[in-house]
Amino acid sequence: MPHRHRHTRAVGAAAVAAAALLVAGLSGSASAGTAPADSAPTAAETLRTDAAPPALLRAMERDLGLDRQQAERRLANEADAGATAGRLRAALGADFAGAWVRGAESGTLTVATTDAADVAAIEAKGAVAKVVRHSLADLDAAKARIDRAAAERGGDATDAAVRYVDVRTNTVTVQATRPSAARALVDAAGVDAGAVRVEKAAEKPRPLYDLRGGEAYYINNSGRCSIGFPVTKGSQEGFATAGHCGRTGASTTGSNRVAQGTFQGSVFPGRDMAWVAVNSNWRATPYVSGAGGQNVQVTGSTQAPVGASVCRSGSTTGWHCGTVQQHNTSVTYPEGTISGVTRTTVCAEPGDSGGSYISGSQAQGVTSGGSGDCRTGGTTFFQPINPLLQNYGLTLKTTGDDGGPDDPPPGEGGTWAAGTVYQPGDTVTYGGATYRCIQGHQAYPGWEPPNVPALWQRV
């Protein structure tokens, strides 16, 4: 049973709840911000960018061409950009057309809108404004129609396997080994060709499991995957992983071949999510295994913006970093189509499936599949962690508590609840006031709406 560390969590000047992986996972990340005069924590403080371990910073330096100070500043800038983009998304409403960061230190946030009248409001928040033709909602709807057409074509859609909304080009992008297949798919969907960009792809993505031996965990004593984030469901401990790694009822053993647990739920294709309940010989620690086996904490699950740095750890290739390319991507594997995954520039190889993605100190998701390798480079997709937690009613294992949601402080009440997964636009009440969520996350004690303006906006 691994040694269990504890770390106090508080708001503002203190630390926030941390979540993590079990084995062969990822690492937390780092940089700090300065509190404003009213003592409300900055986004960097809320998301604990100062919790980045040296191993994650070294991986960012290696894979993103940064020095240590640039890596630290990048994490802090990305935290602040996510909060600013969330507030602008709420303010722009139907005009909003996406947001992304760029630059070695993610120092520039661009926010797109369909209405030129919004430019002043965007620039007032320190962001670059871009006026475009299509709103994010319209592009999402077009992509959904293309996905439905792909589902009707079944295995034939593997020639146009990857589909996503690219906010930077204001298009729905279809990656295809045969561009004619992509054009036929768009025609079948009845989508305006002017909103679609076809991109030639050299390879087809595939799930990243294999039947080779190695570290991590084994399914039915044969296939190998990487453990994702430790979770709890009530008093039951376990871990999140990829759905293609095993079906409900499949048994798992640890890297030491000791009996470990059983898949309690698994979805693949459609999505790529699963969770395993472990037996009493195993303990879900609030850490991930970093370089050299060091314990690394994760402090939350706030979704990183497009362009943000993201790092992955798996049982085959260890630590690698890259950037978030697109959210809400659809991929057609030989086994079928999955939707709602995030596309990244991080490399991965067979056996890394199920392993963890992290941005700063925020858990992002579990490895699904991809193309290429870590010698020549590649593209990977991860199943976001928040929908997985929500689907199975799970809570990320965090430092500072024993896994279960806490009751609100006496007299506060309201509809906000620790353990709940909130998406941008959700509203709650707390302490007699109403708040709107501006960044998707799972709520923790200490992250009550008045305490974390990076995540909630009073309305």
Helix H or strand E segment including 325: strand 318-333
Residue 93: helix, strand or coil by DSSP? helix
| Residue of 272, 327, 339, 371 with catalytic role | 272
Q: CA–CA distance from 124 to each of 93, 120, 128, 168 (Å)? A: 17, 6, 9, 21
How many CB atoms are closer than 10 A to CB 194? 9
Buried b (16+ CB within 10 A) or exposed e, 248-261: eebebebbeeeebb
How far is it between the farthest Cα atoms of the chain? 62
Catalytic site includes residue 244: yes
Catalytic site includes residue 353: yes
Q: Is the distance from CB of 330 to CB of 147 less than 8 angstroms?
A: yes
What backbone torsions phi and psi does residue 419 show, to the nearest 5 degrees? 95, -15
Residue 385: helix, strand or coil by DSSP? helix
Q: How far apart are CA 444 and CA 391, in angstroms?
A: 18
Q: CA–CA distance from 95 to each of 89, 99, 113, 121, 135 (Å)? A: 9, 12, 5, 12, 6
Catalytic site includes residue 272: yes
Cα 157 versus chain centre, distance: 26
Instruction: Give the burial class of 410: count Cβ atoms within 10 A of its Cβ; 0-12 exposed, 13-18 middle, 19 or more buried.
Output: exposed
| Residue of 106, 301, 315, 353 with catalytic role | 353
Residue 151: helix, strand or coil by DSSP? helix
Pair of tokens at residue 458: 């009073």
Q: How far apart are CA 100 and CA 326, in angstroms?
A: 10
Angle between helices 54-64 and 68-92 (to 10 degrees): 90
How many CB atoms are closer than 10 A to CB 176? 23
- Residue 263: strand pairing partners: 276
Q: How far apart are CA 13 and CA 42, in angstroms?
A: 10
Nearest partner of 392 among 229, 280, 283, judged by Cα: 229
Q: How far apart are CA 195 and CA 97, in angstroms?
A: 13
| Residue of 244, 320, 327, 441 with catalytic role | 244
Q: Is the distance from CB of 274 to CB of 280 less than 8 angstroms?
A: no
Active site residues: 244, 272, 353
